[in-house]
């Protein structure tokens, strides 16, 4: 594997344990499924990430893995307890789904649409206690602005309750208002406007991450991703089967070949690491990697019970 390609991978390697830890925290109780609603996302976005927490609740993989994880690392529950005490919402049972989106891949430009059983009055009362709180009243919208410490830095937050159970968060009141106008149908939505971003997701999808114009909106320097046009990633569980489907479209066939080489190299490394574990090798053999001109596809489908067993084994080693 080329050093620059390996460097690209290492830049994003942190995301895997972070995502896993976050999902473990939410996989506690059930509810009603909250798949992505593309009619609630602005038409101008270039990327979106949606987590269906209720689908996660119903996943046998995460039910088993989260039970072990929470028992092993009790500190995982601390962030949820802090949120519950500060804002009056129990994310472990009240959160149903989250959609994050933006025109550029930057936290400063991202908006969060959250579905949760959070009483509107509690929302207002708790935010009124936040530092530097003010209300931007722009009829018919009531947008709460405050500041929040994040890793030693103070950053602005704007939040609004659109309707009971649906909340919008951003960093500027104007951006939150824009999103609310999309929700009200006053501005165009993504639905029906983007063949990739608004494409249907499989039943049981827990996580969907999609991006167009990838090379033009990167928050980090990445030679490999600069040669990428589109990314489509979904994973979840349905009818006792865990699935992961990923597709990447590169700008040129040569760039696609580089991506394929990176993927093949990572799979080879994984097989070497698991050389003495027959069960792990069987799961790795279920990964299908295909390429066609500028497109690379990776699919993984396996019994959920096998995935859960392997995940718990890996977690115990970790």
**Domain locations in the chain as residue ranges:** 3-114+188-317
- Residue 207 to residue 92: CA distance in whole angstroms: 17
17-64 pLDDT, tens digit each: 334 444 444 433 333 456 789 999 999 999 999 999 999 989 999 999
The widest CA-to-CA distance across the chain, in whole angstroms, is 65
With residue 7 as reference, give the H or E element that holds it: helix 3-12
Tally the residues of the chain: 318
Tens digit of each residue's pLDDT (9 = 90 or more) over 270-287: 999 888 889 889 999 999
Whether residue 42 contacts residue 182, with contact meaning beta carbons closer than 8 Å, is answered with yes
Q: In the prediction, which pLDDT does 231 show?
A: 94
Q: Two tokens at 3?
A: 């050093």
- The total of other beta-carbon atoms located within 10 Å of residue 180's CB is 22
Distance CA 88, CA 118 (A): 8
As a whole number of angstroms, the distance between CA 54 and CA 236 comes to: 11
Tens-place pLDDT, residues 244-262: 999 999 999 999 999 999 9
CB 154 within 8 A of CB 171: no
């Amino acid at each position: 594997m080329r050093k620059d390609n390996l460097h690209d991978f290492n830049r994003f390697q942190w995301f895997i344990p972070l995502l896993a830890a976050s999902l473990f925290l939410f996989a506690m109780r059930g509810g009603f499924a909250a798949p992505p609603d593309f009619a609630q996302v602005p038409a101008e976005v270039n990327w979106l990430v949606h987590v269906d927490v209720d689908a996660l609740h119903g996943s046998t993989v995460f039910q088993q893995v989260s039970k072990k994880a929470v028992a092993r690392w009790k500190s995982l529950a601390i962030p949820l307890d802090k949120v519950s005490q500060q804002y009056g919402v129990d994310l472990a049972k009240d959160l149903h789904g989250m959609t994050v989106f933006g025109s550029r891949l930057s936290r400063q430009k991202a908006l969060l649409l959250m579905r949760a059983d959070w009483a509107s009055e509690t929302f207002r009362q708790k935010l009124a206690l936040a530092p530097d709180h003010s209300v931007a009243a722009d009829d018919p919208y009531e947008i709460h602005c405050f500041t929040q410490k994040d890793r030693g830095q103070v950053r602005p937050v704007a939040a609004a309750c659109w309707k009971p159970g649906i909340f919008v968060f951003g960093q500027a009141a104007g951006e939150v208002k824009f999103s609310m106008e999309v929700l009200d149908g006053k501005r165009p939505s993504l639905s029906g406007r983007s063949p990739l971003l608004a494409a249907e997701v499989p039943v049981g999808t827990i996580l969907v991450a999609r991006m167009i114009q990838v090379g033009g909106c990167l928050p980090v320097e990445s030679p490999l991703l600069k040669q990428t046009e589109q990314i489509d990633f979904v994973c979840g569980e349905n009818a006792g089967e865990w699935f992961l489907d990923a597709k990447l479209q590169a700008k040129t066939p040569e760039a696609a070949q580089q991506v394929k080489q990176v993927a093949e190299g990572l799979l080879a490394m994984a097989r070497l690491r698991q050389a003495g574990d027959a069960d792990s090798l069987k799961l790795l053999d279920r990964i299908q990697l295909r390429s066609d001109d500028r497109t690379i596809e990776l699919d993984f489908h396996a019994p959920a019970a096998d995935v859960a067993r392997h995940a718990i084994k890996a977690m115990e080693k970790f």
